[in-house]
Structure 1
Amino acid sequence: MSEDSRRSDPSRGGPAAVGVPSDLPTASFGRRAAAFLVDGVLCAMVAGLFTYPDPPGGWSTLVFLVAYTLFVGLFAESPGMRLLKLRCEGVADGRPIGLFRALLRTLLIILLIPALLTTADGRRWHDKIAGSTVVAARPERR
């Protein structure tokens, strides 16, 4: 696949989805999955602090729901997203999506199926429903 076709294909980390004001490329599935894995492990560790010596079980999901909603809704990135230089922005304005849409998006991620299915514009269904997109983070200004 040529560099030009890779750049124009949103599902391969090409330009942001149609209608997205950002000039940043959409995030690849691999980077998104790695960020999710980091967040999942961190949430399991936090839940484990409260349930020790027993395993955290379903408490991990509750910690993930609360933490992910707060981080993405208010700051546009979770710890895993920050580590992998990703941001979750609103499609309409490129800003953090707020708590309600972040909660909806997080619930759909927990269901897993919407997070695996891709739309025609390269976004995942949980992002399409929540009106968000995950893009490569802007380089920090010094």
Structure 2
Amino acid sequence: MARWTGEWLPGTGSGPGSENRTAPKWPGETFGLPEAGVGSVAGFGSRLLALVIDLVLAGLITTLFVRYDLQDVAAMQTFNWWAGVAWAVITTVPAMFFGFTPGMGAVGVRVARLDGATMVGPWRAVVRMVLTVVIVPALVRNTDGRSWLDRVTGTVVIRMR
């Protein structure tokens, strides 16, 4: 049965020319990744948990520098803006150089480039961060377990342990 993303999201196993291909047996098989364990495609739950950890960490860091008051709308808007900036920094910079954010490190997943390069690099890290803000691209995934973030940047999120 074709997925609803089959015609506009390549790699789903449906669409033009798919009748000659066999569907992958597990996410990441197309790229030569193992079915389970280190180097296999990370699941949605671990990716979501990593995002939540990064968001909480950004909020905690922001409380060190910006006053928050739940009763003051202006103070909370300022706090939220700076928390967003902190989140952008703690998601982009570590991913750029090390391939994972603090939340990803805690959960045991990382971003890997499909071309085999060791560093994710600046433009990929920034594009991933910007698309994560939109949320929808992070939710739509294909049969390889890759979201739009991964497809646009030529990456895949894999397990480190």
TM bucket (normalised to shorter chain) is 0.7 to 0.9
Q: Would the aligned equivalents of 1:88 and 1:96 in 2 still touch at CA under 8 Å?
A: no
| Equivalence for 2:80 | 57
| Equivalence for 2:25 | 8
| Equivalence for 1:43 | 58
Name stretches of at least 5 consecutive residues in structure 1 with no aligned partner: 1-6, 11-15
Distance verdict in 2 for CA 1:70–1:51, change over 3 Å: same
How much does 1:91 deviate? 1.2
| Equivalence for 2:133 | 110
Q: Would the aligned equivalents of 1:17 and 1:122 in 2 still touch at CA under 8 Å?
A: no
| Equivalence for 1:26 | 41
How much does 1:94 deviate? 5.4
Distance verdict in 2 for CA 1:98–1:91, change over 3 Å: same
- 1:80-102 Cα shifts (integer Å, max 9, x gaps): 11111111111111523111110
Aligned length: 126
What CA RMSD, in Å, does the superposition of the two structures yield over aligned residues?
Answer: 1.9
Name stretches of at least 5 consecutive residues in structure 2 with no aligned partner: 1-23, 69-74
Query: 2: CA distance between counterparts of 1:115 and 1:126?
Result: 6
SS at match of 2:112: strand
| Residues 1:100 and 2:112 are matched in the alignment | no
**Sequence identity percentage:** 27
| Equivalence for 1:136 | 159
How much does 1:51 deviate? 1.2
TM-score normalized by the length of structure 1: 0.80
SS at match of 1:87: strand
Deviant stretches of 4+, over 4 Å: none
Amino acid at match of 1:52: R
TM-score normalized by the length of structure 2: 0.71
Q: Would the aligned equivalents of 2:54 and 2:90 in 1 still touch at CA under 8 Å?
A: no
Q: Which has the larger radius of gyration?
A: 2
